[in-house]
């Protein structure tokens, strides 16, 4: 059963993925009363495996989250709530008022770890195959395509470079593209050919084969493009609605701008994980979450806090 929502906390963490749970862990270690609100929409949940975690390679996204949530139980100051934050505003006194599942919660600090949402290909069978033999991240899942035939789907001028990255592992890379896509002029096709990547003109319509035993991609005209795995690169959409409401500065891709301590342009608001610029990998998200949690916790030192958090010190250091 989800604990009752506290009316006031030191820190509100929005997002219960790797970045948010990492921030909450360190806030708990610093004994800061913390509410983590998790909508359960982590982008890697469909994946069979999460890779590249030191000492935990591989694991599953569900195992990783379960262990992180269990670890929070040692910190009584941290409350994990499964729900959504619909609004956050900053009042004249510098406190944050959030609406969590219709209930108002006050916080002294906010950590945004809301992540991004990927645009999936419009393919028959995508929900069954996604995370097993259809992937979006070459760095995460490229090694699983070693010596295999990979089909790349996507749109935009990033696709040729994206496809070339997969040649670090794949035996063959085939890009399926609409002939109307301006990103695949003669120069781009020649460059891809130099890298050993093939370009197939057509519109992908359906995945052929069972999950884990992919045969290929069927085009709108009925042609089968054979392949063992599919990688796609379309668009991903930052979940930055709360950041916009708070007035946080965003970069040209819609990510939240932060400094070296994960502090945004709004005093008291921190951000971590894929919602910020840089590599979008679980180990990176964990590190950013740690930085945000520590910086956020130490920013409260000497200030009145809530619950069981350390009170402002009444003693002063003396020298001599």
Instruction: Write down the pTM of the prediction.
Output: 0.91
For 80-117, what is each residue's pLDDT tens digit?
999 999 999 999 999 999 999 999 999 999 999 999 99
Whether residue 234 has pLDDT greater than 80: yes
Angle between helices 282-299 and 18-29 (to 10 degrees): 30
Whether residue 160 has pLDDT greater than 60: yes
Distance between CA atoms of residues 317 and 319, nearest Å: 7
Q: What is the pLDDT of residue 230?
A: 97
> What fold, for 120-233?
FAD/NAD(P)-binding domain (3.50.50)
Q: Is 8-117+236-299 CATH 3.30.200.20?
A: no
In contact, 34 and 78? CB cutoff 8 Å: yes
Q: Where along the chain do its domains lie?
A: 8-117+236-299, 120-233
Question: Mean pLDDT in the chain?
Answer: 92
Q: What is the pLDDT of residue 186?
A: 78
Q: What is the pLDDT of residue 1?
A: 41
Task: For tokens 């995460």, name the residue.
Answer: 140
- Let me know the angle formed at the C-alpha of 297 by 296 and 301, rounded to the nearest 5 degrees: 115
| Length of the chain (residues) | 320
pLDDT confidence tier of residue 303, bands split at 50, 70 and 90: confident
Same fold, 8-117+236-299 and 120-233: yes
């Amino acid at each position: 059963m989800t604990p009752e929502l506290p009316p006031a906390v030191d820190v509100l963490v929005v997002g219960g993925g790797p970045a948010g749970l990492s921030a909450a862990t360190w806030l708990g270690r610093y004994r800061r009363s913390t509410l983590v609100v998790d909508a359960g929409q982590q982008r890697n949940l469909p994946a069979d495996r999460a890779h590249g975690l030191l000492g935990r390679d591989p694991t599953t996204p569900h195992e990783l989250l379960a262990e992180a949530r269990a670890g929070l139980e040692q910190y009584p100051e941290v409350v994990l709530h499964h729900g959504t934050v619909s609004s956050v505003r900053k009042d004249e006194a510098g406190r944050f008022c959030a609406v969590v599942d219709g209930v108002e919660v006050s916080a002294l600090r906010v950590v945004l770890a809301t992540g991004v949402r990927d645009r999936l290909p419009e393919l028959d069978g995508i929900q069954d195959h996604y995370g097993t033999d259809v992937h979006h991240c070459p760095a995460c899942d490229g090694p699983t395509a070693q010596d295999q035939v990979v089909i790349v789907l996507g749109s935009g001028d990033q696709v040729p470079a994206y496809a070339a990255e997969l040649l670090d592992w794949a035996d063959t890379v085939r890009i399926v593209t609409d002939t109307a896509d301006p990103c695949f002029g003669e120069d781009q096709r020649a460059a891809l050919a130099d890298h050993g990547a093939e370009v197939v003109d057509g519109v992908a319509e359906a995945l052929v084969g069972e999950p884990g035993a992919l045969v290929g991609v069927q085009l709108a005209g009925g042609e089968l493009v054979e392949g063992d795995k599919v990688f796609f690169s379309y668009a991903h959409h930052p979940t930055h609605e709360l950041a916009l409401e708070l007035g946080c500065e965003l970069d040209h891709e819609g990510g939240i701008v932060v400094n070296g301590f994960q502090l945004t342009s709004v005093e008291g608001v921190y951000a971590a994980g894929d919602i910020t610029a840089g590599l979008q990998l679980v180990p990176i998200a964990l590190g950013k979450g740690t930085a945000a949690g520590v910086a956020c916790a130490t920013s409260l030192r000497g200030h009145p806090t809530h619950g069981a958090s350390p009170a402002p010190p009444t003693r002063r250091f003396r020298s001599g």
